Amino acid sequence: MIRIGESIPDLTVTVFHENDVKDIPLASLQGRWVVMVFYPADFTFICPTELEELAENYAKFKELGAEVLSVSTDTVFVHKAWKDTSKAIAKIEFPMVADPTGILCKTMGTYIDDDGLALRGTFIFDDQGVLKSFEMNDNSIGRNTKELLRKLEAAIYVSNADGEVCPASWEPGKKTLSPGLDLVGKI
């Protein structure tokens, strides 16, 4: 399983994107922040609510210089069929990764061997391809795109700040901390 500080896997993935099937080397995404959102399967119950919320906020991710990739063990043909038949999924403009062999899911630690599906894993890679944040949920628990955006904004802020860090529930414009300076006189 990948850990904080490690690099994005050196894999090429097949995606359904812009009504086409494409191969994307993950290394080609360097220079952009990457948000990978793993989910169990197309045509399910919680998954479309999460992906619709991501789709409705995709412009914000792009403004922040991030690419979103949704990932399941379904094929690109299942992704296309889902997009063609679901109003929620029809909103998706980001690449939908097909991982039917589970190679990417296994590499990222989201693969459920007994089911051949992925857990709800969310990974944020910086513009150098280094993992900065990840979260794993039981498949019965949906995620919050607003919180994901907040984490992405915090990671971007910290990467550009000179030693500053973001406290709990930090949002852009709120106070940050300077660890060395904030402790002076408090010890």
Would you please indicate which residues are annotated as catalytic (active-site) residues? Answer: 47
List the strands of the sheet with 131-137, edge to edge.
20-25, 12-17, 96-98, 66-72, 33-38, 120-125, 131-137
The Cα–Cα gap between 40 and 175 comes to 37
Q: At what angle do helices 46-56 and 145-160 cross, to 10 degrees?
A: 50
DSSP 28: G
Residue 53 token pair = 């919320």
Lookup: tokens for 185: 């006189």
Helices and strands of the chain, counted as H and E runs: 7, 9
Three-state SS annotation for 90-116:
HCCCCCEEECCCCHHHHHHCCEECCCC
Residue with tokens 């919320």: 53
